[in-house]
Structure formats: C-alpha cells, structure tokens
Amino acid sequence: MLIDFQGLEEKIINNFYGGEKSTVAHLFIDEKNKIMLGKLEPGASIGLHTHQTSSEILYVLQGEGQVLYDGTSERINKGSCHYCPKGHEHSLINDSNADLLFFAVVPEQ
C-alpha cells in the first residue's frame, strides 16, 4: 500500500503534547498504526510524553535537534533514528536555525 503524504491533508498541531510552537503533520492513521511526515520549525518542539500503549520510531529526514529520552538528551540529525519503546517517555526539539523534517511510526501494541 502506497501512502502519498503530499496528498494527505496538512494539519497544524499547536503545542503538541505541551510543546512549543506548532508541528506541521501529514498523518495516515488506521486501527493499528499512526504514520506521520512531520515538520518542526526552529524553536518548535513536541512536548515530553509517555508511550503507554505504543512505541514510536522517529527518522530524521532533514535538519537537526535533540530528543529528550527518559531523562537523557540525544542529539539527532539527518539519518538519525530514535526509538521510544512502550512505557518510556520522550520529546522532540528543534533547537537549530532550520526546519526539522521527520518521519514517525507509532504502532499500537
């Protein structure tokens, strides 16, 4: 099954999970998965949240920033892949001067 992200409605999510500014998202959601092409402008973030019923995989397509993960900080950039297992917490922060473009998969477990 092909997912055409550019053909999906663009959603602006303000203060996603209590984060700063807004997240631009193209979302595909079915009963088992959430798949997102997302963008954070400079200074934007997705707030700290815990994955109670799912895990999440983030892959950076462009830009750089940091992930807060279970009390630690991880630098990410183009080509980085961050994994947040079920029961753990994380946040995504664009602390750079350019857009951070990422691909995220959240499989319900």
| Residue 46 falls inside a structural domain | yes
What pLDDT is stored for residue 23 in this prediction?
A: 98
What is the total count of domains within the chain?
A: 1
| Residue 32 falls inside a structural domain | yes
Reference 13, options 3, 27, 33; nearest CA is 27
By CB atoms closer than 10 A (0-12, 13-18, 19+), residue 5 is: middle
Query: Is 17 within 8 Å of 49 (Cβ atoms)?
Result: yes
The distance between the two most distant Cα atoms of the chain, rounded to a whole number of Å, is 37
Phi/psi of residue 9, nearest 5 degrees: -60, 135
Start-to-end CA span in the chain (Å): 21
**Confidence band of 108 (pLDDT split at 50, 70, 90):** confident
| Residue 22 falls inside a structural domain | yes
| Residue 43 falls inside a structural domain | yes
| Residue 106 falls inside a structural domain | no
**Structural domain of 24:** 13-51
| Residue 87 falls inside a structural domain | no
| Per-residue pLDDT reduced to its tens digit, 75-94 | 999 999 999 999 999 999 99
- Radius of gyration over every alpha carbon of the chain, rounded to an integer in angstroms: 13
| Residue 89 falls inside a structural domain | no
| Per-residue pLDDT reduced to its tens digit, 11-69 | 999 999 999 999 999 999 999 999 999 999 999 999 999 999 999 999 999 999 999 99
| Residue 93 falls inside a structural domain | no
